[in-house]
C-alpha cells in the first residue's frame, strides 16, 4: 500500500512527464495511489444500443451503432465546425465537432461501422450529438457494461485529455500486478461481518464495474472504509483526551421516578421519549460518566425527559441542575418543573442573574445541606459560590449557546463529574452529530406527541404585504398573538436596524388597537427582558423582533410567525423561528415574506420550508445545500471532512455500523498494536496527517 503512495504517476504506461505534470496540476494526482482513488463521479450504461427512430424527449447518454455518410466543414472562427450525418438504418442524426476537426477528418471514414456514445441534444425538432465518444464497432468485442465518467477540468479537455483518456490510463493502472494484489486495509473479521468486497476487487469495480450489483457493493465497501477510518480517528482522539471518565453509578430506579411515572404523569410518553429514558438509564448505571446529546425538534417533549432523568438522580441520593441560556427560558422551565415536582414532594429553586441576594443565600445554603433537590437557572449556576452537596446530573438546554469550557466547569463541581445531558432543538443530522460531537453519545426524539397540528407555512411577496397584514389581523381578532421577525446582521447593522424600526412603526400604524412589543439584540438587557415579558405574559399582542427570540421561548397562544426578508435567513434559522409557533391547540401559520426576485437556491430553501415541518429533513437539506463544513458547530470541532465517496447526509446507516465496528475494535485493541491494528494505524496516519497538513495551509 505504502508503495503505491510513493510511485510517481509519470511512470505509469501512457503517462510520461508531460501528462504527469498536467494530472498533478489539474487533478492533484501525483502517485499511483492518487489515480487509483480518483473515482468516477457517475456511470453510464453502455450495454444497450439505441435506435435513432426511438429518440424522444429529454434523453440521458445513449449509444448508437451505424455509419457516417457525409462530412462537411461549416462556419467561421469560433463557430467553425465539422458536421456529419450518421444513420443506423432507422433514422439519421447529425453529429457535430468544434475541436480537433482536422484529425477527425483524417480518422473517420464513411462506410465503417461505429459506436457513438453521447447525450443527444434537441434543437428545432432535430437531435444532434456534439463531440460523442467514438469507437469502431467490433462485433466480437461484445456489449460493454457500465463505464465510469470522470470529472475533468477545462484545461484537460482543451489538451484533448478526456474522460476516455483517463479510463485508458486507469485500465493500465488496474492491470499492474502491484495494484491487482493490493493488500486489504480492513481486518478480515470486519470484512466477513459486513460482507465487504475485498479492496482490490472493490477498486477495480469502482472504475470498471462488472455490473450494477458489483458497483454497489464496491461503493459500499469504499464508503464503509472511509467512514470507518473517520470514526476510528475520532474515537482514538477522544480516548486520548478526556478519556473514560468514571461516573456515579445510578443503580436504582426508585420512588420518585415510579411515583411520578405511575401516579402523576397525565399523558402517555411517546415511544421515542421512552427509548431515550432507557438509553439514559443504561448510561447512568454503567459506571461511566454519561455524556449525552439529546436532539429533538421543537415541541417534541424534551423537558419531561430531562425531568425524569433528574428523578433517577434523586432516587440515588444525588442532586440535579438544569441550565438554560436565557432568563426567560430558565423561568419557564422552573414554572413547568416546580408544578410536576410539587406533586411528589421535591424541592426546586430558580437561580438567575436577577435573583435577589436574600433568596440567593437561601439557595446556597439549601444546596449545601442537600435539602434543595433540583436547581434551575442560567449561567449563574456555574458561578464559583454555587456549591452542591452532591451534584449527580447536569442538564444543559439549548446547547449551542454553551461552549465546551462551560460544560467542563460544571464537571469540576465534584471530584467525580456529574452525568451530563445536553439538549438541543437545532437538529443536526444524526450522522453529523456523531462525527462532530464525537465526545457525546446521541439520542434522538424523532416523534412528536400525538395531536399536534403541523404549522402551515406560506411564502408571500412583499407586494402582497397588505394581504399578509389582513391575515394577521384576523388571527389577532381571535385572540392570538403574532411574531414579526426582521433580519439583523452586523455588516449591515445600521440599515437593518432602520428597517426594523420602520417595520415597528408600520405595524403600530396598521394595528392601532393592539399593543406591540419591540425587541432587538442591541437593547439593554433589562429593557429586552421587559419587552419580552410583555409578550410572554400576553399583555402585548404583537412582538416585532430580531432573531433574539429564536431559542426556546414558549408562548402557546402565539399562532403567527411572520419572517420579513426570509430570503436572508438560513434554513435552520428559519426552522428555529417557525418552532416558536404551533405550540398550542390552535392551527398556526408561518409566513415567509420575500422580495420577488430571488435566486434558485434561495427559492429552493424557502420551498423546503413550505414543504416540510420535519426538522431533520430541514437539517439534511441544509447540509446538502451548504455542505457539512458550513454547518453550525462543525467549525469548532477541529475535524476535517474530506470524504471522497461517502456522504454524511445520505450514508447515515453506514456511519452507524462503521462507528460500532471501530468502537468494538478499539475495545480489544486500544492502541492498534495487533498485526491488523498496525495496518490500520499506518492507514490512519496516511489519511489524517495529510488532511491536517491541508487544514494548516488553507
What residues does 482 pair with on adjacent strands?
542, 560
Residue number of the CB atom closest to ligand ADP: 301
> What's the residue count for the chain?
698
Residue placing its CB nearer to ligand ADP in the complex, 429 or 438 = 429
For residue 606, give Cα distances in angstroms to 209, 460, 565, 582, 611: 39, 11, 11, 19, 9
Size of the site for ligand ADP (CB under 6 A): 15
* 291 contact partners, CB below 8 Å, separation of at least 6: 245, 419, 420, 439, 440, 441
Residue 296 lies near ligand ADP (rule: CB under 6 A): yes
Residue placing its CB nearer to ligand ADP in the complex, 304 or 372 = 304
Using the contact rule CB under 6 A, the part of the chain among 46-54, 193-201, 244-252, 291-299 near ligand ADP is 291-299
Choosing from 302, 373, 430, 605, the residue that interacts with ligand ADP (CB under 6 A) is: 302
Determine how β-strand 42-45 pairs with β-strand 146-149: antiparallel
Residue 304 lies near ligand ADP (rule: CB under 6 A): yes
Task: Find how far residue 589's CA is from the centre of its chain.
Answer: 26
- Total H helices, total E strands in the chain: 26, 22
d(CA 308, CA 313): 9
- Tell me the closest approach of the beta carbon of residue 19 to ligand ADP, in angstroms: 58
Burial class (CB in 10 A: 0-12, 13-18, 19+), 257: buried
Residue placing its CB nearer to ligand ADP in the complex, 64 or 350 = 350
Phi-psi region of 378 (alpha: psi -120 to 50; beta: other; left: phi over 0): beta
Residue 245: phi and psi, rounded to 5, are: -65, 135
Choosing from 298, 380, 536, 548, the residue that interacts with ligand ADP (CB under 6 A) is: 298
d(CA 502, CA 293): 41
Residue 325 lies near ligand ADP (rule: CB under 6 A): no
Report whether 351 contacts 372 (CB < 8 A).
Answer: no
List the interface residues with ligand ADP, window 445-504 (CB under 6 A).
449
The grid cell for 404 is 465546551
Residue placing its CB nearer to ligand ADP in the complex, 230 or 272 = 272
Residue placing its CB nearer to ligand ADP in the complex, 98 or 267 = 267
Residue 267 lies near ligand ADP (rule: CB under 6 A): yes
Using the contact rule CB under 6 A, the part of the chain among 76-84, 169-177, 268-276, 378-386 near ligand ADP is 268-276
d(CA 346, CA 311): 9
Q: How many CB atoms lie within 10 A of CB 576?
A: 22
Determine how β-strand 516-519 pairs with β-strand 114-118: unpaired
- Tell me the closest approach of the beta carbon of residue 398 to ligand ADP, in angstroms: 9
Residue 320 lies near ligand ADP (rule: CB under 6 A): no
SS3 of 295, please? strand
Helix (H) or strand (E) holding 69: strand 62-74
- CA trace torsion 412, 417, 419, 423 (10° rounding): 30
Residue 584 lies near ligand ADP (rule: CB under 6 A): no
Determine how β-strand 81-87 pairs with β-strand 319-323: unpaired
List the interface residues with ligand ADP, window 340-369 (CB under 6 A).
none
**Sign of the dihedral defined by the CA atoms of residues 163, 166, 168, 170, in that order:** negative
Using the contact rule CB under 6 A, the part of the chain among 261-269, 374-382, 516-524, 667-675 near ligand ADP is 261-269
Choosing from 63, 303, 481, 613, the residue that interacts with ligand ADP (CB under 6 A) is: 303
Residue placing its CB nearer to ligand ADP in the complex, 267 or 694 = 267
Q: How many CB atoms lie within 10 A of CB 235?
A: 18
Residue 300 lies near ligand ADP (rule: CB under 6 A): yes
Using the contact rule CB under 6 A, the part of the chain among 90-98, 300-308, 494-502, 604-612 near ligand ADP is 300-308
Choosing from 132, 247, 285, 299, the residue that interacts with ligand ADP (CB under 6 A) is: 299
Report whether 400 contacts 633 (CB < 8 A).
Answer: yes
Residue 324 lies near ligand ADP (rule: CB under 6 A): no
- Tell me the closest approach of the beta carbon of residue 450 to ligand ADP, in angstroms: 6
Using the contact rule CB under 6 A, the part of the chain among 45-53, 72-80, 187-195, 295-303 near ligand ADP is 295-303
Contact pattern for ligand ADP over residues 392 through 431, marking x by CB under 6 A: ---------------------------------x------
Residue placing its CB nearer to ligand ADP in the complex, 137 or 616 = 616
- Tell me the closest approach of the beta carbon of residue 325 to ligand ADP, in angstroms: 13
Report whether 586 contacts 454 (CB < 8 A).
Answer: no
Residue 270 lies near ligand ADP (rule: CB under 6 A): yes
Nearest to 66 by CA among 51, 46, 44: 51
- Tell me the closest approach of the beta carbon of residue 381 to ligand ADP, in angstroms: 18
Residue placing its CB nearer to ligand ADP in the complex, 12 or 376 = 376
Residue placing its CB nearer to ligand ADP in the complex, 273 or 588 = 273
Helix (H) or strand (E) holding 34: helix 32-36
- Tell me the closest approach of the beta carbon of residue 531 to ligand ADP, in angstroms: 22
- Tell me the closest approach of the beta carbon of residue 535 to ligand ADP, in angstroms: 17
Residue placing its CB nearer to ligand ADP in the complex, 298 or 472 = 298
- Tell me the closest approach of the beta carbon of residue 305 to ligand ADP, in angstroms: 8
Residue 310 lies near ligand ADP (rule: CB under 6 A): no
Instruction: Enumerate binding residues for ligand ADP (CB under 6 A).
Output: 267-270, 273, 296, 298-304, 425, 449
Amino acid at each position: 500500500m505504502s508503495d503505491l503512495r510513493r510511485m510517481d504517476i509519470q511512470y505509469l504506461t501512457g503517462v510520461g512527464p508531460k501528462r504527469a505534470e498536467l494530472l498533478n496540476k489539474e487533478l492533484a494526482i501525483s502517485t499511483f495511489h492518487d489515480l487509483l482513488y480518483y473515482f468516477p463521479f457517475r456511470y453510464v450504461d453502455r450495454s444497450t444500443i439505441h435506435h435513432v427512430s426511438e429518440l424522444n424527449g429529454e434523453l440521458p447518454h445513449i449509444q448508437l451503432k451505424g455509419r457516417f455518410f457525409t462530412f462537411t466543414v461549416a462556419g467561421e472562427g469560433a463557430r467553425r465546425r465539422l458536421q456529419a450525418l450518421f444513420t443506423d438504418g432507422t433514422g439519421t442524426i447529425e453529429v457535430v465537432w468544434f475541436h480537433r476537426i482536422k484529425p477527425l477528418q483524417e480518422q473517420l471514414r464513411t462506410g465503417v461501422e461505429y459506436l457513438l456514445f453521447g447525450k443527444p441534444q434537441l434543437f428545432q425538432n432535430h437531435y444532434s450529438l456534439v463531440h460523442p465518444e467514438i469507437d469502431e464497432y467490433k462485433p466480437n468485442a461484445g456489449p460493454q457494461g457500465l463505464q465510469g465518467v470522470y470529472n475533468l477540468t477545462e484545461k484537460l479537455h482543451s489538451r484533448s485529455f478526456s474522460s476516455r483518456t483517463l479510463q485508458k490510463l486507469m485500465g493500465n493502472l488496474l492491470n499492474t500486478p502491484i495494484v491487482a494484489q493490493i493488500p486489504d486495509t480492513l481486518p478480515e473479521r470486519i470484512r466477513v461481518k459486513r460482507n465487504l468486497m475485498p479492496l482490490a476487487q472493490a477498486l477495480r469495480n469502482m472504475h470498471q464495474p462488472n455490473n450494477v450489483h458489483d458497483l454497489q457493493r464496491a461503493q459500499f465497501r469504499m464508503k464503509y472504509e472511509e467512514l470507518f477510518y473517520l470514526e476510528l480517528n475520532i474515537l482514538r482522539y477522544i480516548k486520548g483526551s478526556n478519556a473514560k471518565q468514571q461516573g456515579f453509578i445510578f443503580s436504582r430506579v426508585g420512588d420518585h421516578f415510579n411515583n411520578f411515572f405511575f401516579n402523576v404523569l397525565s399523558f402517555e410518553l411517546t415511544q421515542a421519549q421512552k427509548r431515550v429514558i432507557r438509553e439514559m438509564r443504561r448510561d447512568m448505571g454503567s459506571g461511566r460518566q454519561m455524556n449525552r446529546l439529546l436532539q429533538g425538534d421543537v415541541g417534541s417533549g424534551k423537558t419531561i425527559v430531562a425531568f425524569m432523568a433528574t428523578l433517577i438522580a434523586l432516587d440515588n441520593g444525588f442532586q440535579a441542575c438544569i441550565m438554560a441560556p436565557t432568563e426567560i427560558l430558565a423561568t419557564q422551565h422552573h414554572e413547568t418543573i416546580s408544578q410536576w415536582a410539587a406533586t411528589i414532594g421535591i424541592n426546586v429553586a430558580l437561580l438567575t442573574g436577577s435573583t435577589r441576594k436574600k433568596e440567593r443565600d437561601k439557595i446556597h445554603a439549601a444546596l449545601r445541606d442537600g435539602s434543595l433537590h433540583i436547581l434551575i437557572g442560567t449561567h449563574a449556576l456555574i458561578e464559583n459560590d454555587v456549591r452542591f452537596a452532591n451534584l449527580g446530573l447536569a442538564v444543559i438546554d439549548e446547547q449551542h449557546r454553551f461552549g465546551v469550557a462551560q460544560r467542563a466547569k460544571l464537571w469540576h463541581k465534584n471530584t467525580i463529574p456529574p452525568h451530563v445531558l445536553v439538549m438541543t432543538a437545532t437538529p443536526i443530522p444524526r450522522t453529523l452529530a456523531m462525527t462532530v460531537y464525537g465526545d457525546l453519545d446521541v439520542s434522538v426524539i424523532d416523534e412528536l406527541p400525538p395531536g399536534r397540528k403541523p404549522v402551515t407555512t406560506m411564502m408571500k411577496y412583499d407586494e402582497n404585504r397588505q394581504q399578509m397584514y389582513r391575515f394577521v389581523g384576523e388571527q389577532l381578532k381571535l385572540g392570538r398573538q403574532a411574531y414579526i421577525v426582521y433580519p439583523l446582521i452586523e455588516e449591515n447593522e445600521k440599515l437593518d436596524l432602520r428597517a426594523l424600526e420602520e417595520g415597528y412603526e408600520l405595524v403600530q400604524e396598521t394595528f392601532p388597537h393592539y399593543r406591540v412589543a419591540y425587541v432587538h439584540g442591541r437593547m439593554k438587557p433589562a429593557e429586552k427582558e421587559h419587552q419580552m415579558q410583555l409578550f410572554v405574559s400576553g399583555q402585548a399582542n404583537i412582538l416585532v423582533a430580531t432573531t433574539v427570540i429564536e431559542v426556546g421561548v414558549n408562548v402557546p397562544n402565539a399562532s403567527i410567525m411572520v419572517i420579513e426578508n426570509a430570503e436572508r435567513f438560513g434554513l435552520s434559522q428559519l426552522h428555529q423561528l417557525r418552532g416558536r409557533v404551533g405550540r398550542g391547540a390552535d392551527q398556526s401559520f408561518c409566513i415567509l415574506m420575500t422580495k420577488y426576485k430571488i435566486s434558485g437556491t434561495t427559492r429552493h430553501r424557502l420551498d423546503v420550508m413550505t414543504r416540510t415541518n420535519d426538522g431533520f429533513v430541514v437539517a439534511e437539506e441544509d447540509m446538502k445545500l451548504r455542505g457539512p463544513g458550513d454547518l453550525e458547530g462543525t467549525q469548532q470541532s477541529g475535524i476535517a471532512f474530506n470524504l471522497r465517496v461517502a456522504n454524511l447526509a445520505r450514508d447515515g446507516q453506514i456511519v452507524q455500523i462503521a462507528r460500532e465496528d471501530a468502537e468494538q475494535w478499539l475495545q480489544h485493541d486500544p492502541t492498534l498494536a495487533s498485526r491488523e491494528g498496525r495496518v490500520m494505524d499506518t492507514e490512519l496516519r496516511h489519511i489524517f496527517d495529510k488532511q491536517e497538513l491541508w487544514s494548516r495551509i488553507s
